């Protein structure tokens, strides 16, 4: 019997974590959970520890970690509870770990993802901020550590599936003209500018196609999620900004496409379910059962496409601008967006204030080349301070 693949899931209590555990559960003879991590949700992590029996459980919050430690001890669990960022790095780089699902939302996922890259792990990358904040540094770590990088975002996973087996150098050298990133358009695709000014939090959290966490759902509504994916695609596929085009496709059936120089356009289709890209990455290059139902094209009936409206949804424009500026601009964009989305969720700003805040921070910041991780951390902190300054005046 082949050795069980030991998996660390960073962000186990989120939607990606849940989908990963669902796929793993379908293949008990192939995968085992080595470590499960969460921010501060010890109650949810306790249930997962009882069911999946990981070697380690990690929480960032000390009080939550102590509660979990006492609970697991009371039921005789052998799972060891650890706490803090160094613990996340430990379970991401441990010699017994074969693959790391990097699904922590936000900038907190950057450091353990880099630790996994340096340790040469198979990285299932679902954390956007790793590439948005530190694309060059992270890709260097992947190369130097000999890691295998597999994208989990449905769009990037689709692109990966329909690209040639190996792409070296530029896209054009591999016969690729452009990448076509599809976007659902979110719940407000048909809204007027005046209607967007009145959007409520409850409306923004109601995505038409995907079930996701609140932060990514808001990003999808503003199209910032697609902007971040454009930046990710630049690093994952060594693409120029001009080689990445966003196509609004409301049905979310085509997950993305690649256009070749001979006029061919290859697409990956499937039901909107994250278990498909997760199963693909877990089994790569083999394909595994994911539990996702067959795509019923007759039921869908038609597929629609349209250009994104960057006047109504300026977050996408701002992401392209940050990508073209280079250096630390994408890290600034990301930090400002995190503060803006948090403020909107707390109902202290309007939906349309999100891009206004981001543009203010980008215009105020000094764009520099990124030399190391510490510089990125300083950039992130300074951008958040500028965003809070804007909030204080709003």
User: Can you spell out the DSSP letters for 124-163?
Assistant: EE--HHHHHHHHHHHHHHHHHHT-EEEE-SHHHHHHHHHS
| pLDDT given for residue 71 in this prediction | 97
| pLDDT given for residue 166 in this prediction | 66
> Domain range for residue 305?
159-325
285 within domain boundaries: yes
Task: Identify whether residues 187 and 147 lie together within a single domain.
Answer: no
Query: Which of 325, 350, 370 is the last residue in one of the domains?
Result: 325
Task: Identify whether residues 175 and 73 lie together within a single domain.
Answer: no
Task: Identify whether residues 92 and 186 lie together within a single domain.
Answer: no
Q: 17 near 9, Cβ under 8 Å?
A: yes
Tokens for 319, please give them: 């992401």
139 within domain boundaries: yes
Tokens for 5, please give them: 């693949």
Identify which of 140, 97, 135, 133 has the alpha carbon closest to the alpha carbon of residue 117.
Answer: 140
Task: Identify whether residues 111 and 193 lie together within a single domain.
Answer: no
Query: What total number of domains does the chain contain?
Result: 2
180 within domain boundaries: yes
Task: Identify whether residues 137 and 164 lie together within a single domain.
Answer: no
Using a cut of 0.85, tell me whether the model's pTM lies above it. yes
273 upstream amide cis, omega within 30 of 0: no
Task: Identify whether residues 17 and 93 lie together within a single domain.
Answer: yes
| pLDDT given for residue 295 in this prediction | 95
What is the domain-level CATH number for residue 84?
3.40.50.720
130 within domain boundaries: yes
279 within domain boundaries: yes
| pLDDT given for residue 167 in this prediction | 67
- The tens-digit pLDDT sequence of the chain (394 residues) is 568 999 999 999 999 999 999 999 999 999 999 999 999 999 999 999 999 999 999 999 999 999 999 999 999 999 999 999 999 999 999 999 999 999 997 778 999 999 999 999 999 999 888 999 999 999 999 999 999 999 999 999 999 999 987 666 789 999 999 999 999 999 999 999 999 999 999 999 987 776 778 888 999 999 999 999 999 999 999 999 999 999 999 999 999 999 999 999 999 999 999 999 999 999 999 999 999 999 999 999 999 999 999 999 999 999 999 999 999 999 999 999 999 999 999 999 999 999 999 999 999 999 999 888 889 989 999 999 999 999 998 7
340 within domain boundaries: no
Task: Identify whether residues 174 and 313 lie together within a single domain.
Answer: yes
Task: Identify whether residues 276 and 178 lie together within a single domain.
Answer: yes
273 within domain boundaries: yes
Residue keyed to tokens 């890209």: 277
Task: Identify whether residues 147 and 168 lie together within a single domain.
Answer: no
Q: Which helix (H) or strand (E) holds 67?
A: helix 62-74
| pLDDT given for residue 126 in this prediction | 95
Task: Identify whether residues 128 and 242 lie together within a single domain.
Answer: no
Q: How many beta carbons lie within 10 A of that of residue 254, not counting itself? A: 19
DSSP SS3 for 268: strand
Q: How many beta carbons lie within 10 A of that of residue 71, not counting itself? A: 17
| pLDDT given for residue 293 in this prediction | 95
Residues 58-86 have pLDDT tens digits of 999 999 999 999 999 999 999 999 999 99
Task: Identify whether residues 129 and 183 lie together within a single domain.
Answer: no
| pLDDT given for residue 107 in this prediction | 73
Q: How far apart, in whole angstroms, are the C-alpha atoms of residue 227 and residue 96? A: 36
Task: Identify whether residues 41 and 186 lie together within a single domain.
Answer: no
Q: Which residues contact 287 (CB under 8 A, 6 or more apart)?
A: 279, 280
């Amino acid at each position: 019997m082949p050795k069980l693949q030991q998996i660390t899931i960073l962000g186990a209590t989120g939607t990606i974590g849940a989908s990963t555990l669902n796929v793993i559960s379908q293949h008990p003879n192939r995968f085992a959970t080595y470590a499960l991590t969460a921010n501060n949700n010890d109650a949810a992590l306790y249930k997962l520890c009882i069911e999946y029996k990981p070697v380690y459980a990690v929480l960032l919050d000390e009080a939550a970690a102590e509660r979990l430690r006492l609970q697991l001890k009371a039921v005789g669990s052998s799972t060891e509870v650890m706490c803090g960022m160094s613990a996340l790095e430990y379970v991401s780089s441990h010699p017994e770990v074969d693959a790391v699902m990097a699904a922590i939302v936000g900038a907190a996922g950057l450091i353990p993802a880099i630790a996994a890259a340096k340790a040469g792990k198979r990285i299932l990358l679902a954390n956007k901020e790793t590439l948005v904040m530190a694309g060059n540094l992270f890709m260097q770590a992947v190369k130097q550590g000999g890691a295998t990088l597999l994208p989990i975002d449905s769009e990037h996973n689709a692109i990966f599936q329909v690209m040639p087996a190996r792409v070296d150098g530029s896209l054009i050298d591999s016969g690729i003209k452009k990448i076509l990133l599809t976007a659902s358009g979110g719940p407000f695709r048909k809204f007027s500018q005046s209607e967007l000014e009145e959007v409520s939090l409850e409306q923004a959290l109601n995505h038409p196609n995907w079930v996701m966490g609140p932060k990514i759902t808001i990003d999808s509504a503003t199209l910032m999620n697609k902007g971040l994916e454009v930046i990710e695609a630049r690093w994952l596929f060594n693409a120029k900004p001009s080689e990445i085009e966003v196509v609004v496709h409301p049905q979310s059936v085509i997950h993305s496409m690649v256009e070749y120089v001979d006029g061919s356009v290859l697409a990956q289709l499937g039901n909107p379910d994250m278990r498909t890209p997760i199963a693909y990455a877990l089994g790569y290059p083999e394909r595994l059962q994911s539990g996702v139902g067959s795509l019923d094209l007759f039921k869908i009936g038609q597929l629609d496409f349209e250009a994104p409206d960057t006047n109504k949804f300026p977050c996408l424009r701002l992401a392209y601008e940050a990508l073209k500026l280079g250096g630390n601009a994408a890290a600034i964009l990301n930090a400002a967006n995190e503060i803006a989305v948090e403020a909107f969720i707390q109902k202290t700003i309007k939906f349309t204030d999100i891009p206004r805040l981001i543009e203010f921070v980008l215009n105020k910041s000094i764009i520099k080349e990124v030399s190391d991780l510490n510089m990125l951390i300083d950039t992130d902190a300074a951008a958040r301070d500028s965003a809070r300054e804007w909030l204080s005046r709003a």
